[in-house]
Amino acid sequence: MSEPAQTFSEYLSQSKKRYLSDVEGGKGDRWTVVMGNEAGDLDTLASSLSYAWLHSTQSSNKEDAIALVRIPKEDFHLRAENTYALGLARIREPYDELLKMDDLRDIISRQGKFPSNNFALVDHNALHPSFAQTSPSSFGVVSIIDHHADEGKHTDASRRVINQSTGSCASLVAAEIPPPLMAQLPRELADLLLCAILVDTNGLRAKSKTGDKDRAAVQRLSPLSSLSTQNVASLALPDGESDGAQDPLAQLSDILAERKASVAHLSSRDLLKRDYKAYDYVVSPSLLASSASHSRSQTLPITIRAGLATVPLDLRTWVPSAPDFFTSVRSYMDEHGLSILGILTSFTSKKGKHKRQILLAISPPPSSTPLSSTANGAVDIDWARLSDAVFKGLEHSSHGLELETKHKLDNICGQKALDKALGREAGKEAHGGRPVFVKVWKQGNVKATRKQSAPALRRVVEGEEKN
């Protein structure tokens, strides 16, 4: 393993060069690939870069690790807060310095598989099937650091830390760094980790999103960062109170929040993919429609894909200003093979109050009928029944989303608005025949994020949540 480069930017470039060289030589299994989730937010970016550095630096076997960024080149501009934080960390050309999927596509095409088989997961806890090799024994997840609901995968990982009470995965990564190595932490990484924590916890001011590990991480990282440590102690108090002085961390938090909210220039499609995660759910047998001769007990499991996009805009503002809103929703669902698309809005009202909304669109994906078959006949989903069950199930979810139908909101982006926009009659598209069901709510529990809504949706679709 080479000596650390003079700057972290150079370290990244050298690591990428060595990894690609090893991969071309068939030595990709010497490396551990550290991956964040597909949403590509600042937390996942900072956590993967930092954990890759940590894994390489402290490995007793001198194993190398590299972070894999899953953000397509054309989507890098969608997150202004990422660009700002990377610039603060002196990573000026992220798409050249970071390892991306684009760097590996030709290699994967030639080799027929992903070139490495050891993975570390941060900010999620289930390896995407596309990274698994042909045999379950040919790949391994060596560690997991995450703050989302445990999916119960990779229980044999040598290091498995899942703490849902922590607001930022970056805080958990910081906690993994032992004191002797903390002194070696590149200042750029301290800056990145701090930025991620501040974004996810609103500068430690969001009580529902801030845990003890978040406050502890800020206190550990601040003296190592490029920022002044003035008033760090007061900012890290459990109640988020400050003595009123100008705190550089609070200022940084405000800058990052402003950058994150700067999305007015983005198209509807860009807004949907900017902060998006996909999930696969096994449909409850009670939601399947079978031929009269088919026994439900013989039904093959049917999996559908759901996507949840978090958007920092009020639907009442967004939809009227975007004539292509519903066509963009439909196109996005088709493009990603989605049966369910959820739009989770989070914004500040004119009165300065935090608000949330949820819009769900449900429809068969293209060319999905029948989804599967048995010897006794075709099996399909009863989409009207599924939609009704999902809508009612979420309204009564044990996850406490506190969903409420609002007449004005429903008029703007509810079922009638969608039918009109797509030129549908009697619940079907005039040209396609595929049903589309939509429901929109005001979310009363503004503390509930995608970390709560995704498990709630899964429980309803898979039949664990009763109406």
Helix (H, G, I), strand (E, B) or coil at 209: helix
More confident: 143 or 424 = 143
Containing 394, the helix (H) or strand (E) segment is helix 383-395
What is the predicted pLDDT for the residue at 369?
A: 40
Q: 234 pLDDT exceeds 50?
A: no
What is the predicted pLDDT for the residue at 466?
A: 62
As a whole number of angstroms, the distance between CA 326 and CA 423 comes to: 11
Lowest-confidence range among 119-128, 280-289, 313-322?
280-289
Maximal C-alpha separation, the chain = 74
Average pLDDT over residues 141-157: 94
| Architecture of the domain made up of 8-256 | Alpha-Beta Complex (3.90)
CB 11 within 8 Å of CB 5: yes
As a whole number of angstroms, the distance between CA 219 and CA 445 comes to: 30
Share of the chain above pLDDT 70, in %: 84
As a whole number of angstroms, the distance between CA 353 and CA 314 comes to: 12
Task: Give the CATH H-level superfamily of domain 264-461.
Answer: DHHA2 domain (3.10.310.20)
Q: 439 pLDDT exceeds 50?
A: yes
Closest CA to 29 of 144, 117, 160: 117
pLDDT in tens, 86-124: 998 999 888 889 999 999 999 888 888 889 999 999 999
Closest CA to 259 of 191, 308, 312, 309: 312
Lowest-confidence range among 48-62, 145-159, 306-320, 376-390?
376-390
Q: 336 pLDDT exceeds 70?
A: yes
User: pLDDT class for 367, splitting at 50, 70, 90?
Assistant: low
CB 309 within 8 Å of CB 336: no
User: pLDDT class for 67, splitting at 50, 70, 90?
Assistant: very high
Helix (H, G, I), strand (E, B) or coil at 324: coil
Q: 231 pLDDT exceeds 70?
A: no
The one-letter amino acid at 332: Y
Which residues lie below 8 Å from residue 457, measured CB to CB, with a gap of 6+? Answer: 279, 281, 306, 308, 340, 342, 390, 394
Residue 17, Cβ density class (10 Å: 0-12 exposed, 13-18 middle, ≥19 buried): exposed
Q: What is the CA radius of gyration of the chain?
A: 23
State the pairing for strand pair 31-35/64-69.
Answer: parallel
Q: 429 pLDDT exceeds 70?
A: no
As a whole number of angstroms, the distance between CA 46 and CA 174 comes to: 10
Tokens 């598209």 found at: 429
Q: Work out the mean pLDDT of the chain and round it to a whole number.
A: 85
Average pLDDT over residues 449-455: 92
DSSP string, 245-266: S--HHHHHHHHHHHHHH--TTS
As a whole number of angstroms, the distance between CA 101 and CA 292 comes to: 47
Domain regions of the chain by residue span = 8-256, 264-461
As a whole number of angstroms, the distance between CA 56 and CA 114 comes to: 20
pLDDT in tens, 339-366: 999 999 999 999 989 999 999 999 988 7
What is the predicted pLDDT for the residue at 132?
A: 72
- Start-to-end CA distance of the chain, whole Å, equals 57
The one-letter amino acid at 237: L
As a whole number of angstroms, the distance between CA 343 and CA 362 comes to: 12
User: pLDDT class for 377, splitting at 50, 70, 90?
Assistant: very low
Average pLDDT over residues 322-341: 94
